[in-house]
Amino acid sequence: MKKLSQIAILLVLIAGCCMSARYSSEIEHSKWQGPFFFVQMADPQFGMFAANMSFKKETELFEKAISHANRLKPAFVVICGDLINKPGDEEQTKELFRIAHKLDKKIPLYWVPGNHDVGNQPTLENLEWYRKTFGKDWYSFHYGSCKFVVINTTIIHRPDKVREEMEKQWEWLSGALKNANNEKPIHTIVFQHHPLFLKDPQEKDGYFNIPKERRPKYLNLFKENNVSAVFAGHYHRNCYANDGTMEMITSGPVGKPLGEDPSGFRIVKVFKDQIEHKYYGLDAVPEMVTMHEETTTTDARRQTQ
């Protein structure tokens, strides 16, 4: 009996420590820690240049991108989908991981699923492979009193075979954003693969945006819960738009470009009252990032180098 009492006391102490740690964590996230920056990449898409026959060019570009990140030392790196070109391809995935593991271990790396990772029309089997290989396909994390939310837009774009997964994600997302609103972070930012829209919230359906049948539902949820910005890839070019005060930022690829924007990535600076971002070609990335707020216009801040 005495032994059981000691165990009970120990469990209470452990629970108290956990609650204290959680409370301390919440306090930490609620306080502004000062400006920081992160790197957003998209579409390394190993195998795209050579139609899955090789990934030599993707290796060269992703090596360069990771090397730049190691020099710049961002708060974290996020890759907004199309990590590989052929869903489930072991060799493409192995090469992606080989280079990704070169990222400084002090810099967190966050994966976002794309249609080339789980299929244009995703299946439960493809989602299971992704989750086993990369981890969760929807989740959230905190940094510097900001909340970041990652979602899987492939199951929103083509939910035909995974409608239950889309509904599960929606239920989780609604709760995550409402909690974020209650937490009152400095900024709430969403990462996904497909842009909600490219230039206009009312634009017609296409391969590169979320269908109008489902788009307003997500736009309304994001606006209701004060999402500052949504960062996406998929388009292999840069595109910028707004829905009210929410920015929709579509970034060019680390891998193969489909327009005038070169292979590169975006540096995103987070200040207490605004977010600044600029896309850089891999041959024009600065030696270092200075954290001074810009006084130029939004269009000037978005200029590609």
Which of 247, 243, 113 minimizes the C-alpha distance to 187? Answer: 247
Domains in the chain: how many in total? 1
Q: Is residue 15 part of a domain?
A: no
Q: What's 295's domain CATH number?
A: 3.60.21.10
Is the pLDDT confidence value at 295 over 90? no
pLDDT for 184 equals 87
Domain interval for residue 86: 25-301
- The DSSP code for 184 is -
Alpha carbon distance 12, 5 (integer Å) = 11
Alpha carbon distance 238, 74 (integer Å) = 21
SS3 38: strand
Q: Is residue 5 part of a domain?
A: no
Alpha carbon distance 39, 109 (integer Å) = 10
- The DSSP code for 205 is P
SS3 23: helix
Amino acid at 99: I
Triad 290, 38, 175: Cα angle to 5°? 140
Q: Is the pTM of this model over 0.85?
A: yes
Q: Is residue 10 part of a domain?
A: no
SS3 220: helix
Range list of H helices, 114-246: 115-118, 124-134, 154-157, 163-183, 215-224
Amino acid at 101: H
Contact 80, 41 (CB under 8 A): yes
Alpha carbon distance 157, 13 (integer Å) = 47
Amino acid at 259: G
Order of strands, edge to edge, in the sheet holding 146-150?
139-143, 146-150, 188-191, 227-232, 246-250, 239-243
Q: Is residue 37 part of a domain?
A: yes
What backbone torsions phi and psi does residue 143 show, to the nearest 5 degrees?
Answer: -155, 130
Q: Is residue 101 part of a domain?
A: yes
Q: Is residue 203 part of a domain?
A: yes
- For residue 285, how many other CB atoms are within 10 A of its CB? 20
Alpha carbon distance 16, 8 (integer Å) = 12
- For residue 71, how many other CB atoms are within 10 A of its CB? 13
The tens digit of pLDDT for each residue in 43-82 reads 999 999 999 999 999 999 999 999 999 999 999 999 999 9
The tens digit of pLDDT for each residue in 171-226 reads 999 999 988 777 889 999 999 999 999 999 999 999 999 999 999 999 999 999 99
The tens digit of pLDDT for each residue in 109-135 reads 999 999 999 999 999 999 999 999 999
Give percent of the chain above pLDDT 70: 86
List the structure tokens of 115: 């249609």
Alpha carbon distance 71, 74 (integer Å) = 9
Alpha carbon distance 189, 140 (integer Å) = 10
pLDDT for 294 equals 64
pLDDT for 25 equals 41
Q: Is residue 17 part of a domain?
A: no
Q: Is residue 159 part of a domain?
A: yes
pLDDT for 243 equals 97
